[in-house]
Amino acid sequence: MQNIRFGTDGWRGVISDNFTFENVRKVAGAIADYYKENSYPPFRIAIGFDTRFLSSTYARLVAEILSNRGIEVLLSPSFVPTPALSFITRKLSLTCGIMITASHNPCEYNGIKIKTQQGGAAGIQITQQIEKKLKEIGITKSRVKPATINMMNFISDYIRFLRSYLNLDILKNKRYKVLVDAMHGSGNSFIKDILNDTKIQLDFIRNEVNPGFGGLRPEPVLENLLPSIQKLKEKKYDLGIVLDGDADRIAAFLGDAEFLHPQKILGLLILHLTRNRRLKGGVIKTIVGTNLIDKITKKLGLKLYETPVGFKYISEIMQKEDILIGGEEAGGIGFKDYIPERDGTLAGLLLIEMMAYENKSMAEILKNMEDEFGRYFYLREDLKLNKPVSQNLYQRFKKTKNILGEKVIEVKDYDGVKLICEDESWVMARLSGTEPLIRFYAEAKDADKAHRLIKFAKKCFTIF
């Protein structure tokens, strides 16, 4: 029981280790009990699942637990992107949504994400109460008549909305060639149905179901994207789009296979929404976000919010403030007039739309942005942990006064420890909220310095 903990985005665990049928039953029961005590009838919950091993079985099990507690269930008959589950939850004003997924984690993991009635990620004020409920699972519940479990297609409404969000008129006659890498996840080839009446050619790779993800983790970071790179070099494309395991995150490539980091995607889409679409609103980034976003928002006069890592923090602000766009380092981006949640498919579609609005290649658009706001080199490296990290290491790291000859002028420690230097370069160490990893981040105005900053941070945590 002590291993059941909701982290950065939901509860995740290793299948048959702590992510067991028994623990899934307990978590489902705790979720049911929490919402029956803290919301109003009728109690209706949507359940979706991804392409991972046993995900459909876990989804059915959760549905049965909820039904036996008198909660009506809307269950997807097939795997779906997490944003589709969030969308249907909001559209139908359901009690909540439950997604069976471990997102970008390795194949041995599975997990449960909870979506609020608004479609956003459940915050800690909800998940902490659910964790407390786990201790009460043994208490006998009053008998209720089982509620119905209804099979429901979440995808048709999701696709219909995304089509309405885009300017399909401007896309209709564009003959772009776009590569889509689904990483064997639940994003699959749904984007084809959104663009089906345009002349855009879509080629798909890794869109077949493979619970082992081809031996790679379904996280859209460069070391997992060799199949995309090889395909982009074989054939001429205008853009490459990569979706993570449950399709709520994005990475991208220029047509020549140059990696377009998610941090740059966020900057590009801020410019697209403000300058091309003429939309307004605030911008949200996380503590590990690039300085590029600060530069863009300052010039455009947009209010900038900064949060801890985890889209649930972005989601909370999106539900309270007038937000144009919110994005995290790992490629999760959410948009105005939609769910307060990230959607990798929509982010990719808006990149295509940006090319159409500006009638330029993505390489030209990127160059224009970097000419105007500066070029930043951003890195992240992960170190697997065999034992917990001592808080003494963090304290020593936090007291660093000088890095590579540059004075440290600011320290942020509300989520990990971030050291910011006089020349705007910075380096950060933070424990992962979903895996036994410590993550190191760095950014500088030249690639060599970014690498040296990462090396410095790793050395701090291995020598101290």
Q: What is the pLDDT of residue 262?
A: 93
Please tell me the distance from the alpha carbon of residue 256 to that of residue 315, in angstroms, as a whole number.
Answer: 34
Give the CATH fold of the 166-373 domain.
Alpha-D-Glucose-1,6-Bisphosphate; Chain A, domain 3 (3.40.120)
Please tell me the distance from the alpha carbon of residue 13 to that of residue 407, in angstroms, as a whole number.
Answer: 41
What percentage of the chain reaches a pLDDT higher than 70?
97
DSSP 276: I
CA-closest candidate to residue 263, choices 398, 115, 373, 403? 373
DSSP 121: B
> Where residue 393 falls among pLDDT bands split at 50, 70, 90?
confident
pLDDT at 248 over 70: yes
Domains 6-154 and 166-373 share a fold: yes
pLDDT at 3 over 90: no
Q: Which residues contact 437 (CB under 8 A, 6 or more apart)?
A: 382, 383, 384, 385, 431
> Where residue 310 falls among pLDDT bands split at 50, 70, 90?
confident
Q: What is the pLDDT of residue 308?
A: 94
- Token pair listed for 223: 């070391």
- Token pair listed for 446: 């030249």
Residue whose structure tokens are 């982010």: 347
Strand segments, DSSP code E, in 86-192 are 96-100, 109-115, 149-151, 177-181
Burial of 383 (0-12, 13-18, 19+ CB in 10 A): middle
For residue 414, the one-letter residue type is Y
> Where residue 140 falls among pLDDT bands split at 50, 70, 90?
very low
Q: Are 248 and 81 in contact (CB under 8 A)?
A: yes
CA-closest candidate to residue 413, choices 431, 390, 433, 387? 431
Angle subtended at Cα 76 by Cα 32 and Cα 344, rounded to the nearest 5 degrees = 100
- 351-376 per-position pLDDT tens digit: 999 999 999 999 999 999 999 999 99
- Length in residues, the chain: 464
- Token pair listed for 402: 């000088």
Name the CATH superfamily, with its identifier, for domain 6-154: Alpha-D-Glucose-1,6-Bisphosphate, subunit A, domain 3 (3.40.120.10)
Alpha-carbon torsion (55, 58, 59, 60), positive or negative: positive
Q: What is the pLDDT of residue 463?
A: 52
Using DSSP's 3-state secondary structure scheme, residue 186 falls into: coil
118-127, 138-147, 286-295, 411-420: which has the minimum mean pLDDT?
138-147
**Domain-wise residue ranges, the chain:** 6-154, 166-373, 377-463
418 backbone φψ class: left, alpha, beta (φ>0; ψ -120 to 50): beta
- 188-228 per-position pLDDT tens digit: 999 999 999 999 999 999 999 999 999 999 999 999 999 99
Please tell me the distance from the alpha carbon of residue 146 to that of residue 163, in angstroms, as a whole number.
Answer: 37
Residue whose structure tokens are 């006069």: 301
Class of domain 377-463: alpha beta
Alpha-carbon torsion (106, 79, 120, 20), positive or negative: negative
Q: Are 96 and 44 in contact (CB under 8 A)?
A: no
Q: What is the pLDDT of residue 1?
A: 47
Residue whose structure tokens are 């706001």: 373
